[in-house]
Amino acid sequence: MRLRLTILTLAACVAACENTVPLRSATADNDVAAAPAAPTLLGDAERGKTRSAELYCDACHGVNGNSETSVWPSLAGQNARYLVRQMELLRAGARPSPEMQPIAATLSDEDIADLAAHYAAQVPIAPQEAPDETAKAGEALYQKGDPARALPACASCHGASGEGNPATGDPAVRGQQPDYSILALEAYANRTRYAQAKMTGPENENLNIMYEVASKLTPAEIRSVAAYMRIMR
């Protein structure tokens, strides 16, 4: 309840204060960090399931959020904190998307919290494939980075199995549709993922690292790391 109120207060402030305040305050950060492990506590997963059916989310994101369309992201098992933040950014138009923004614009704060709880609780399905040469090249880069180019290991934030970090909101990347991952990495590299080329504020520290990381990757590396993330589980 306290968290829900905090989110509502913040959302009101975001609307009223425009970009003068960060989307999340330190209070919300602490609340999330202090919450017990289950991300479903953030919202009502049952209501989220009903809303996802009413709003046809799975028409694009796949049954229970396991996308079957390569350019559309899977949401199943994504951490709630990341999902909430992205829905807020999509709703505000800060993350432009012709497909998503009209839908996001209709979501209430309660919808966002409940939909996030629903998708966080779904089981991600990745293809059971042994890595081919492309994915193997991606594995080395993902797990170790490249110290010679000051490229950090992707695993240091996204987890050794691509499971992400629910406490910090670093997204899960395992099982993700490869073309979506490629588009996402290109958008970071070109700084077109968000309407603003530079995001400021402490909550965007890792985002700014993502800009740097992605801009150091070659097109071949982007393809291989996307192929590897697809088969991670």
Binding site for ligand HEC (CB under 6 A): 52, 55-57, 59-61, 72-73, 75, 83, 86-87, 97, 99-100, 103, 115, 141, 152, 154, 156-158, 170-171, 173, 181, 184-185, 193, 206-207, 209-210, 213, 225
Residue 185 or 231 with smaller CB distance to ligand HEC: 185
Residue 102 to residues 96, 118, 195: CA-CA distances in angstroms? Answer: 10, 21, 16
- Least distance (Å) between residue 125 CB and ligand HEC: 16
- Least distance (Å) between residue 115 CB and ligand HEC: 4
- Least distance (Å) between residue 153 CB and ligand HEC: 7
Alpha-carbon span 21 to 25, nearest angstrom: 8
- Least distance (Å) between residue 154 CB and ligand HEC: 3
Residue 2 or 161 with smaller CB distance to ligand HEC: 161
Cα 42 from chain centroid?
16
- Least distance (Å) between residue 51 CB and ligand HEC: 7
Taking a C-beta distance cutoff of 8 angstroms, is the pair 164, 171 a contact? yes
- Least distance (Å) between residue 5 CB and ligand HEC: 22
Residue 26 or 150 with smaller CB distance to ligand HEC: 150
Q: Which two tokens stand for residue 219?
A: 């097109």
